[in-house]
Structure 1
Amino acid sequence: MPIEKTDTLVVGGGQAGIAMSEHLSSHSVDHIVLEKKRIAEAWRTGRWDTMVANGPAWHDRFPNLKFEDSHPDAFVPKERMAQYLCDYAEMIDAPVRTGVEVLNAEKKPGEQGFLVDTSEGQIEAKRIVVATGAFQVPVIPPVIPKEEDIVQLHSFHYHNSAQLPQGNVLVVGTGSSGVQIADELRREGKEVYLSVSPHDRPPRRYRGRDNVWWLGVLGLWDAPSMAPGTERFAICVSGARGGETVDFRRLAKEGVNLFGMTQSYKEGVLKFAPDLAESIAEGDRGYLAFLDMADAYVERTGVDLPQEPEARELLATPDSVTNPVSELNLAEAGITSVIWATGFRQDFNWLKADTFEDSGKPIHQRGVAAEPGIYFLGLPWQSRRGSSFLWGIWHDAKYVGDQIAIQRAYGQYDGEAAKITTAAR
């Protein structure tokens, strides 16, 4: 069977791969996009059923297609987001092949380009764009042994409470997924225990503007890296029920049991770090600092936005924070299931290239890898804070597409420009 050839192979048919295809097409770069399942599969089948986008429809989209059937300030359901990406791929005529998995990719010895093994044969490509996203392999810390009589699910595989047995639930992790799942389960009548990790807790809205608007006008979307000391912080922001500010004091007041970070497990007893009060306080400091920056912006620019002094009024500190519990017997607490909202790791084992640290982290500059011909897209903080968001991925894809076009132009140079022709006299 002859080996298919293409200039650029894009691995991944989600939001990163589709954005990449648009910019490659704009440069007339021959390319193929391979997706091992369906377009936007993670939006279709990953995470809980009622999940919505964390940003409003006017913002969390690609520039060239609006959510015409949604209010600009609405937070669209995950099924609508999946359809949006399918519609976008169709609009730009992206050459996506679904159901094709990339198994191995290696540099061709002594030649430019790569030989790629897929579930449907081999492909030769001069360039590879790794667009497999930031959320590849769900991680459950090895705390509670699998053989324990407790249902353990990662938040990516949790869909609804019907998956859970009778009994109470422990949710570990307080990023956007953890707090929304804990709150939803409580509203369904479950007794919920929430293990709180260090977090950034921005307001959903302030002075009549959404969080994403403030991040834009304050220049925070373009922050090149996380602030020192916040690398481990989860971001607590929610689009649920029309969008609301995450407030752990409110969750406690409404019945969620708060604990510190999960540390260890032995003989049915889970132990927690004595850091709950500090995690809550650190989240409050970030929240209030955000309001300070917003107020300073209004003062400096004179933009007409209503004051909102009540946003600074914090509820009373709950007893679970003042007198934290350091350990919990799961059976005595009636806990029969644990949902781990503990993040993801990336898996690039299929790509044999000298562009990874010993830890497996890609070595790149704004998506341009250390190994010539390899590019990345959709990495967290790839170029800025906004790199993992739809609009940020689109702009990162433009940069990567431009770099590919530049390298193609260099590759087409044949030396003619260096020849000097004597001017006619």
Structure 2
Amino acid sequence: MSNIEFTQAAPEHVGVIVIGGGQAGLSVSYFLQQANIGHLVLEKHSVTHTWRTQRWDTFCLVTPNWQCALPGHAYDGPDPHGFMKKDEIIAYLDAFIAKVNAPVLEGTAVTRVTRDAGGGYVVQSTRGTYMADQVVVASGGYHTPIVPRMAERLPLGIVQVQSSEYRNADALPPGAVLVVGSGQSGAQIAEDLHLAGRKVHLAVGEAPRCARFYRGRDVVDWLADMRYYDMPVTDHPLREGVRDNTNHYVTGRDGGRDIDLRRFASEGMELFGRLEDFRDGKLRFAPNLRANLDDADDTYNRINASIDGFIEKHGIDAPAAARYEPLWHPPGERAELDLQASGITSIVWCIGFTPDFAWLDAPVFNGRGYPAHMRGVTAVPGIYFVGLPWLHTWGSGRFSGVARDAQYVVDAICAERSNVPDHVRLRVREEA
């Protein structure tokens, strides 16, 4: 990485400004360099900082290593079907950073992007103002942690952390822990605390789950063969609604395994429905624990059934099919929990993030404040997005699919710079 010294005296013109120095922004830089297009990457913190600062100590990938396919930097280690741990992920990224050698300004937050009279863009940052022909937003979609207002009413003695701040069980005070949310982070953090011997109370949400291994292979391998990861958002049954879906919970820990909340419950973890309120010293929960567990298991079995159909259709020799049967059922729906009597001393909020693009002054957002685009290309000339969940496919926000998205966007930038007529450019994009 060529980290540029800040010596700006007047606004500098740059062909393309890339906002964000994570895997998406670096992937865009890789293809811009191939196209010989001058550009600058502005990164608020340091490149790939999220992987270094917002992951717990035992964090590992939930997808197998072979899916790590950043541009020009496919995984080539000894364990393609394993799951890289945190330090291995950082080493993989460090090698990518060195390979790309992107022109980056770290510690530079973008504060405003506006269109100028000539059709270009004014990019204001904490280290000066730049002029750009085109802007690629590669800052992701997970910006502001979601913490409910009820958190303000909790006793001051309760330690509250968000999932990005959790590191390990020992970093929390002695006592029971309430984990709120059962998506990928919530389920894995609850497991981490449970395995560390902590008493865990888990507020279970509507996240689905899937098997780690089924019929002799990783489920990811089956789904890859079934071309699931190549399905564009336009072909998904939920269309753009899939972008709102919570990721399936599963883990790559210890070589990979299922996460079964029912088993945790049989081992002493306390499960509740969705956390709704804190009032009169008591946590209040929705009576939907049983439904949430059943729905997660239904998704688990439905994915496996689709694999069964694929195996049968293609005459594949594989171990026998099986159906998950619950090993534990909630004895009832507990609507409340006395906070003091429970011994809870800390809460880990794992209910996601909201995007924040308030600094981008351009008519590219829908009524919910989410970028409107087709494969990262917006209706406003010169504004592009890369690295969003399901920007085009399941892998768009991951190591597996960001390269394809970045190349597509850079191709669109090249077409725009060549003054290809809009109707031709749009047709090419739709057909690609």
TM-score, normalising length from structure 1?
0.91
Matched, 1:113 2:120: yes
Which residue, 237, 243, 248 being the options, matches 1:235?
A: 248
Alpha-carbon contact 2:180-2:347 (below 8 Å) kept? yes
Q: What CA distance in whole angstroms lies between the structure 1 residues aligned with 2:300 and 2:110?
A: 43
Q: What CA distance in whole angstroms lies between the structure 1 residues aligned with 2:266 and 2:139?
A: 40
Select the structure of larger CA radius of gyration.
1
Q: Which residue of 1 aligns with 2:203?
A: 195
Q: CA deviation at 1:89?
A: 2.4
Q: CA deviation at 1:412?
A: 11
Which residue, 15, 33, 47 being the options, matches 2:23?
A: 15
Q: What CA distance in whole angstroms lies between the structure 1 residues aligned with 2:154 and 2:66?
A: 46
Deviates further, 153-162 or 355-364 = 355-364
Q: Which residue of 2 aligns with 1:93?
A: 101
Q: CA deviation at 1:201?
A: 0.9
Within 5 A, what are the aligned runs for 1:311-326? 312-318=323-329, 321-326=330-335
Cα 1:369/1:68, change in 2 over 3 Å: same
Alpha-carbon contact 1:174-1:234 (below 8 Å) kept? no
Q: Which residue of 2 aligns with 1:422?
A: none
For 2:328, the aligned partner's letter is T
Matched, 1:45 2:45: no
Q: Equivalent residue of 1:396, what SS?
A: helix
Q: Equivalent residue of 1:122, what SS?
A: strand
For 2:211, the aligned partner's letter is P
Q: What CA distance in whole angstroms lies between the structure 2 residues aligned with 1:234 and 1:340?
A: 16
Q: Which residue of 2 aligns with 1:141?
A: 148
Q: Equivalent residue of 2:416, what SS?
A: helix
1:62-95 deviations in whole A, cap 9, x for unaligned? Answer: 2532444451112112232233223212213322
Q: Equivalent residue of 1:299, what SS?
A: helix
1:147-180 deviations in whole A, cap 9, x for unaligned? Answer: 6231111101111123311210010111111111
Q: What CA distance in whole angstroms lies between the structure 1 residues aligned with 2:317 and 2:353?
A: 41
Q: What CA distance in whole angstroms lies between the structure 1 residues aligned with 2:362 and 2:31?
A: 24
Q: CA deviation at 1:215?
A: 2.2
Q: What CA distance in whole angstroms lies between the structure 1 residues aligned with 2:169 and 2:103?
A: 38
Q: Which residue of 1 aligns with 2:3?
A: none
Matched, 1:32 2:36: no
Alpha-carbon contact 1:133-1:379 (below 8 Å) kept? yes
Q: What CA distance in whole angstroms lies between the structure 1 residues aligned with 2:153 and 2:78?
A: 43
Q: Which residue of 2 aligns with 1:304?
A: 317
Deviates further, 182-191 or 299-308 = 299-308
Q: Percent identity?
A: 37
Deviates further, 142-151 or 275-284 = 142-151
Q: What CA distance in whole angstroms lies between the structure 2 residues aligned with 1:162 and 1:146?
A: 25
Matched, 1:262 2:279: no
Q: CA deviation at 1:220?
A: 2.1
For 1:317, the aligned partner's letter is W
Matched, 1:252 2:265: yes
Q: What CA distance in whole angstroms lies between the structure 2 residues aligned with 1:412 and 1:232?
A: 36
Q: Which residue of 2 aligns with 1:213?
A: 221
Q: CA deviation at 1:265?
A: 1.1
Q: Equivalent residue of 2:26, what SS?
A: helix
Which residue, 405, 414, 417 being the options, matches 1:408?
A: 417
Q: Which residue of 2 aligns with 1:420?
A: none
4+ long deviations beyond 6 Å: none
Which residue, 61, 64, 67 being the options, matches 2:72?
A: 64
The structure richer in helix per residue is: 2
Q: What CA distance in whole angstroms lies between the structure 1 residues aligned with 2:146 and 2:237?
A: 24
For 2:109, the aligned partner's letter is E
Within 5 A, what are the aligned runs for 1:275-290? 275-290=288-303
For 2:72, the aligned partner's letter is N
Deviates further, 164-173 or 353-362 = 353-362
Deviates further, 84-93 or 188-197 = 84-93
Alpha-carbon contact 1:198-1:234 (below 8 Å) kept? no
Alpha-carbon contact 1:39-1:85 (below 8 Å) kept? no
Deviates further, 83-92 or 396-405 = 83-92
Q: What CA distance in whole angstroms lies between the structure 1 residues aligned with 2:351 and 2:162?
A: 7
Q: Which residue of 2 aligns with 1:417?
A: none
Deviates further, 72-81 or 61-70 = 61-70
Deviates further, 337-346 or 145-154 = 145-154
Alpha-carbon contact 1:356-1:363 (below 8 Å) kept? yes
For 1:350, the aligned partner's letter is W
Cα 1:234/1:326, change in 2 over 3 Å: farther
Q: Equivalent residue of 1:100, what SS?
A: coil
Q: What CA distance in whole angstroms lies between the structure 2 residues aligned with 1:146 and 1:347?
A: 26
Alpha-carbon contact 2:30-2:71 (below 8 Å) kept? no
Q: Which residue of 2 aligns with 1:338?
A: 347
Q: Equivalent residue of 1:169, what SS?
A: strand
Stretches of structure 2 that go unaligned for 5 or more consecutive residues are: 1-8, 423-432
